[in-house]
Amino acid sequence: MQTMIVIDVSIVTVALPSIQRDLDIDQSRLSWVINAYTIGFDGLLLLAGRLGDLIGRKTVFIAGVAAFTGASALSGLAWSQEVLIATRFFQGVGAGLAYAVAIGVVITLFTEPRERGRALGLVGFAQAAGASAGIVLGGVISHAMSWHWVFYVNVPIGIVASALAVRLIPRDRGLGLRAGLDVAGAALATAGLMLGAYAVVAVGPHGWNSPHALVGLASLALLGGFVLRQATARVPLIPLAFLRNRTLAGGNIIHILTTASTVPFTILIALYFQQVAGYSPVDAAFSLMPLAIASALTSLTLYPRLAARFGSRSLLVTGLTAVTCGLLLATRLPTDPLYAVDILPAITLVGAGSGIVMPAVIATSMTVPDLRDAGLASGVAATSGTVGDTAGIVTLTTAAAAHTATLLSGGSQPVPALNDGFRLAFGIAAALAALAAAMASLVLRRHAPLSTSVPR
């Protein structure tokens, strides 16, 4: 389920041209096929994570899987742009419910360090390689079948995931709603996050001078009200002491910076393949396979072996250094690349580094003294990851487009101008990854393993 949720965004992105032709969607509204999902997903993560602690992570997970699966079927059946955008919103809500508690389920199931390392390696693989796999699947399905199947493919997987969850995940009673159901705080957090997601995705195409930027200010005001509410509520949704945990706070900031650099890279390099190097969509999809393979090898084999011995800080610094080097290599990509010489080293380094970084940053973000708060920590970690990748995509694509437009207005040819825009974006991504590595080195303690306490 974790893999499918991550794949969903990129697989739909690849299918957008087919969706636009079939449903006759205006270019100005096409992005809302993605944006509606993003708003529903981002807005529910924090609340869903806390609900997992209160009413049971298994309950919230199964509800999310069911909602995601049903909305996927309806998205595949969509006969108009309005129906598709609406079902995509509810698909995002279901994905947010399931995704927010998934890591919490893993953390509470696996308390022995080596077992937990292997489990987090699988989670890291799902997150680091999911976007690449989505691009490959999107290209193949859109080419061989139809866009409807990028949604239908979720249905059997969701049914199997629900059945396995009912059977295999132990029932957890939760703390009860009275232990932390701050309705006002939940409303402020959810509205603030949804408006924030809307502002980020809307400002990109319209610019910071547009009225959409005012929505961002409203989002900040609501989130500020949420913080004040948590400081005064008798039973807060998120105790402020929770966020004063140095390792947890540092891990989430590193998570934001990491996803802001690695997720946009996967999207931009796929665009580079097609718009600059001249690859077909299918060729571009398969050209990303080494990134996914490198990520799989490091997250599934290296991370479990190294985590207990060296700790998250050392692995984060090492992995982020590899990601930074790969992104710096990408800033040198020419308009007529040789794949083995120019492209392969860059995407392999980014993939290998991501495979180590993602499980390590998840482990760091889940450092809680009491695993009864694992759902809340999971929701916070999921929120930081999605904030990072959404903001990173908008920032880097906007920077690339603006630089390209400037060069074109100055008389540059289209392909070199596009290439320079991509290279600027890769440079910004490298700076973000380097900043994350510096934070890991300076903020995190040398060896801070996760708590192995079990919920009472």
Instruction: Answer yes or no: are the C-beta atoms of 364 and 251 closer than 8 Å.
Output: yes
Q: Which of 51-60, 151-160, 330-339, 399-408 has the lowest mean pLDDT?
A: 51-60
Calculate mean pLDDT across residues 394-407.
Answer: 87
Ramachandran assignment for 428, one of left (phi > 0), alpha (psi -120 to 50 degrees), beta (any other):
alpha
- Report the alpha-carbon angle 151-156-161, nearest 5: 110
What is residue 37's predicted lDDT score, i.e. its pLDDT?
A: 86
pLDDT in tens, 106-158: 878 887 777 877 787 777 777 666 666 666 666 667 666 777 888 888 899 89
Q: Looking at the predicted structure, is the pLDDT value of residue 374 above 80?
A: no
pLDDT in tens, 18-28: 788 888 877 66
Give the model's confidence band at 436: pLDDT under 50 very low, under 70 low, under 90 confident, else very high: very high
Other residues' Cβ atoms within 10 Å of the Cβ of residue 60 = 28
Q: Which of 4-8, 28-32, 418-422 has the lowest mean pLDDT?
A: 28-32
pLDDT in tens, 259-273: 899 888 988 888 898
Other residues' Cβ atoms within 10 Å of the Cβ of residue 369 = 11
What is residue 204's predicted lDDT score, i.e. its pLDDT?
A: 58
pTM of the model: 0.80
Over its C-alpha atoms, the chain yields an Rg (Å, rounded) of: 21
User: Which two tokens mark 64?
Assistant: 């999310």
User: Which two tokens mark 26?
Assistant: 């205006």
Of all residues in the chain, the percent with pLDDT exceeding 90 is 23
Phi then psi for 79, rounded to 5 degrees? Answer: -110, 0
Q: Looking at the predicted structure, is the pLDDT value of residue 315 above 70?
A: yes
* Cβ burial, residue 226 (10 Å; 0-12/13-18/19+): buried
- Distance in angstroms (rounded) separating the CA atoms of residues 304 and 16: 37
**Cα–Cα distances in angstroms (integers) from residue 212 to residues 224, 236, 237, 393, in the given order:** 19, 31, 29, 17
**Cα–Cα distances in angstroms (integers) from residue 278 to residues 3, 179, 190, 241, 282, in the given order:** 29, 57, 42, 52, 12
| Mean pLDDT rounded to a whole number for the chain | 81
